[in-house]
Amino acid sequence: MTVQDDARENQLIKLFQLEQPPNRRRNDTDALLNYKGKTFYFELKSTTKNSVITVRDFGIEHIKKWQNKHWIIGFYDQETNLKYCHYASPKEMSKWIKEKEQYIAGDFKLAQLVPNLINLQVMYNIVGEKQYYTIQDAKKIQKRQYTLEEYHQLMDRENGYSPQRMLQIIRDRCEYIMRRGSTLNNPHIPASYFNGWEKIIDNRASKLRQYLDQYLD
C-alpha cells in the first residue's frame, strides 16, 4: 500500500468511526465495526477516477475474502481531498464479484486438475530418475514456496524424499504456478456499477449505521 493509499484509508476509518483490526497485515480486513452486538468487516477502497481499481492478482482467495465484506469507497479529486463516498453491502457487491469469479473459473479448474495428470515418467523428465531425492532437488522445484520446516515435514526418507513424495512436490509446484496464472490483474469496478447509488458527503458515521440497520432488517 502506498503512503497516499494509507492516508486515505486512515481518513475513511476516522470519518466513518471504524476500527482497524489489531496486528493487521496487508491482506487482512481493512476495518471493522462492532454495532448492535454484531461485528461488520469492511473493505476500504479509494480512487481519484470514476472507476475503482480493486487489487493486483485477483484470484479465488479474494472471492472468499470479499464474500461477506461491506465496502466503503472514497472518491477523491486530489490525493486526500475527499468528494464523496459510496457504501456497498455484501449483496450489492456480489454481482461484480460473481462476474469476476466466472471469468477466472476455467483457469482455476485447470490449476486444480492438471497437476494430477503429472506422473512419474513426466517427473523423471524434469528432475531425472532416482530412488532418492535430496532437499536440494526439492528446492530446485519448489524454491521458496515451502518453508524449511515444510521441506523437512515432507521427507519420507532419511534427509530426503522418495519418488512418490517428489511427485507430490512437483504437483504442488505445478498447481502454484497455474494458480498464479489464473489470477486477474487489477480488475476495475466501472463507474456505471454505481449508477443511482447515494453519494455520502456528510454525517458519514451516522449514515453508515443507517445502512447497516437496513442490512440487518
| Residue closest to 106 by CA, chosen among 185, 188, 178 | 178
Q: Do 200 and 175 fall within a single domain?
A: no
pTM of this prediction?
0.73
List pLDDT tens digits, range 28-37: 789 999 999 9
Q: Do 96 and 191 fall within a single domain?
A: yes
Angle between helices 135-142 and 163-181 (to 10 degrees): 20
Q: Do 188 and 176 fall within a single domain?
A: no
Q: Do 210 and 190 fall within a single domain?
A: yes
Angle between helices 90-113 and 163-181 (to 10 degrees): 140
Q: Which residue has the cell 519420507?
A: 156
Cell of 159: 534427509
Residue 26: its pLDDT value, please?
58
pLDDT tier at 63 (50, 70, 90 boundaries)?
A: confident
Q: Do 88 and 21 fall within a single domain?
A: yes
Q: Do 20 and 84 fall within a single domain?
A: yes
Q: Do 91 and 25 fall within a single domain?
A: yes
- Residues 123, 163 contacting (CB under 8 angstroms): yes
Q: Do 74 and 167 fall within a single domain?
A: no
Domain count, the chain: 2
Number of other residues whose CB lies within 10 A of the CB of residue 11: 16
Mean pLDDT of 65-92: 91
CA distance 129 to 138: 14
Q: Do 13 and 82 fall within a single domain?
A: yes
Domain that residue 160 falls in: 112-180
Beta bridge partners of 52: 189
Q: Do 96 and 193 fall within a single domain?
A: yes
Q: Do 150 and 135 fall within a single domain?
A: yes
